[in-house]
């Protein structure tokens, strides 16, 4: 009796799995205001960095102000190899949205 019930349940699971339409996963970012938490103040101006001498085949990624544990901290620039031939680095930056500031990361583009 238990074996028959198990087989029926297994057959039902397989049938649903075969006939169910494929589902795509969609991730949506939502800004949820935190009650009692003040938004970060505007970022301070960038620090003037001394860029080390050129490195053939590498690209200088400038430093930026990062938000860490409730305060801004300077994240130093660094040399990086392009992600693929012909890639150009697009700098990230702070953007005002609503009553807060949000960091848009840099990325490689064609």
**Contact between residue 76 and residue 49 where contact means Cβ atoms under 8 Å apart:** yes
**Contact between residue 64 and residue 75 where contact means Cβ atoms under 8 Å apart:** yes
Residue 24 within any structural domain of the chain: no
Q: Which residues of the chain have pLDDT under 70?
A: 1-39
Q: What does each C-alpha distance from 2 to 9, 11, 33, 50, 86 come to in angstroms? A: 11, 14, 52, 75, 64
Residue matched to tokens 């969609």? 26
Determine how many CB atoms are found less than 10 A away from the CB of residue 64: 20
Mind listing the pLDDT tens digit for each residue in 87-108? 999 999 999 988 888 999 999 9
Q: Whole-prediction pTM value?
A: 0.60
- Write out the residue range of the structural domain in which residue 71 sits: 57-110
Measured in degrees and rounded to the nearest 5, phi and psi for residue 101 equal: -120, 140
Looking at the structure of the chain, the number of domains it has is 1
Residue 93 within any structural domain of the chain: yes
Residue 76 within any structural domain of the chain: yes
Mind listing the pLDDT tens digit for each residue in 32-42? 554 556 667 89
What pLDDT score does 3 carry?
Answer: 53
């Amino acid at each position: 009796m238990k074996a028959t019930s198990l087989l029926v349940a297994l057959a039902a699971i397989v049938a649903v799995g075969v006939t169910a339409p494929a589902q795509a996963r969609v991730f949506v970012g939502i800004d949820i205001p935190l009650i009692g938490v003040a938004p970060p103040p505007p970022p301070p101006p960038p620090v003037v960095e001394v860029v080390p001498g050129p490195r053939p085949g590498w690209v200088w990624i400038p430093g930026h102000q990062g938000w860490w544990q409730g305060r801004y901290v300077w994240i130093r620039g660094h040399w990086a190899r392009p992600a693929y031939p012909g890639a150009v680095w697009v700098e990230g930056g702070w953007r005002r949205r609503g009553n807060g500031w949000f960091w848009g990361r840099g990325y490689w583009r064609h």
